[in-house]
Structure 1
């Protein structure tokens, strides 16, 4: 049985048996004066959530790996944004480490999916 819990640009959250539609924009305001970094983070976040909205296969392992690829890519995208816009040397070093680790894990996950029919 396959289920998709994704509604266009939104998601379906199920809590205590009650389904609630969420657009992913709750609590966000657009004042029109966002910095390029903020806009980039918002776009990266939207891509990540869209990518994580997989069609579930009832294979817990494959579903986890498929969803985590988008999650890790989101981390890489965010780290690249801080490398472009950030100033703090410690944060930039951390961001580069995130990129290195997450890209290696994405390769592993893609290989695992290829080996396991995911």
Structure 2
């Protein structure tokens, strides 16, 4: 049996199976890979914003679709505002800056509208 195991492992190695399996690691699906290059200040800010958004979107569900939707969307929109502000602090691209400014304005207005909806629904 040991000889068969060694034979199978050797055959898999010779066929490139380890490389194929490596493509199915978490890093191949959007998870951050280890890097020797430190994050730029903008990348670090993006990472912080995304981590906070995911944490804040992990809400205690009320079993009320309206309340649950709004409670989860507020941190989602807040993250969009924060990411746009990062871009405004670090980018010189006029088109992207205009987009970021529009995102800040619209998302902040939508956050205020959703907070008002929660008040109307009697939930926070």
Task: Flag whether TM exceeds 0.5 (same fold).
Answer: yes
Higher strand share: 1
Q: What's the secondary structure of 2:106's corresponding residue?
A: helix
Match of 1:29 in 2: 33
The runs of 5 or more residues in structure 1 that have no matched partner are 1-25
Deviations 1:81-111 (A, max 9, x none): 0000112100000000000000000000001
Q: How large is the RMSD of aligned CA atoms in angstroms?
A: 1.7
Alignment pair present for 1:42 and 2:47 = yes
Give the number of equivalent residue pairs: 95
TM-score (norm 1): 0.75
Structure possessing the higher radius of gyration over alpha carbons? 2
- Residue of 94, 108, 121 corresponding to 1:103: 108
- Residue of 72, 81, 87 corresponding to 1:67: 72
Match of 2:98 in 1: 93
Higher helix share: 2
Return the alpha-carbon distance in structure 2 between the equivalents of residues 88 and 49 of structure 1: 28
TM-score (norm 2): 0.72
Q: What's the secondary structure of 2:76's corresponding residue?
A: helix
Deviations 1:17-55 (A, max 9, x none): xxxxxxxxx621343511000000000000111111100
Return the alpha-carbon distance in structure 2 between the equivalents of residues 108 and 79 of structure 1: 19
The runs of 5 or more residues in structure 2 that have no matched partner are 1-29
Divergent runs of 4+, >6 A: none
